[in-house]
Structure formats: C-alpha cells, structure tokens
Structure 1
Amino acid sequence: MFDATKCSGYGRCAEICPSVFEIDEFGYAKVLGDGTVPAADETKATQAVAECPEKAISLVA
C-alpha cells in the first residue's frame, strides 16, 4: 500500500526496489502497475518499506 500524501520525495523506495517503485515527473514516488511485488524482489520491497522516512508505504499480504 502506498499513501502518496505522505511521500516527501526522498526516493529511497525507487533506489531499493525499482521493479515496484519509480519517481514521477514531480520527484515523488509512485507504484508501478498494480503494486504486485515480484517474488524475487520481496526482500527489497520489505527493505523499501522499512527505509521510507515518512512511512508512506506498507506491504499487504
């Protein structure tokens, strides 16, 4: 889950897990596709959640 209203544009999520997140034209993160995390990137996605300074993202099972 991603709360865009909390994003401050640090970009850590896109650096850590570019298969799920990217930076938009305004410098804020956005989720790619439907936000499904590829099995091979679950560890990276978990790290991105943990390192988000604004706690704007979370994983939903």
Structure 2
Amino acid sequence: MKSLQRLISNFYDLSRFEAGEYKFELKSINLSNIISDTLALLYVDFIYKEIESKIDIEENIPTTIVDVQ
C-alpha cells in the first residue's frame, strides 16, 4: 500500500513540475564546507565511541547548485 501511495505522490509531483507549478530558489553551495561542518558536529561522538577516522576531503570541490527550499 505504501509503495502505491508513494507512486501516486511521485506522479502528482511530476505533473506539478511539468506544469511549471514548482518555484525553485537556486543557490550555489560549497560541499567541502558542509561536509567539514557536519564532521565537526560528529567529532565528539567519534571520540566518545572511540572511533578513529581518517577523512580526506578534496579541497577544490566545485560548487553545487541546489534548491534551498
């Protein structure tokens, strides 16, 4: 039943998208900053659970355009 509801919802969203009813608010973001900030939030959990991590984040990741809504 859930898969049918999801399918109907997706079809409805597609119909609205194709009709131009969705308004996008596009913004350029830096994924390196988001990844770094997220990992910083998890740092205490890593220490508490004694997880030693090695994380390499590429410095020059191109910016990404996203819908901020």
Query: How would you bin the TM-score normalised by the shorter chain?
Result: under 0.3
Instruction: Say which one has the larger Rg.
Output: 2
> Which is richer in helix?
2
Q: TM-score, normalised by structure 2?
A: 0.22
Structure 1-normalised TM-score? Answer: 0.24
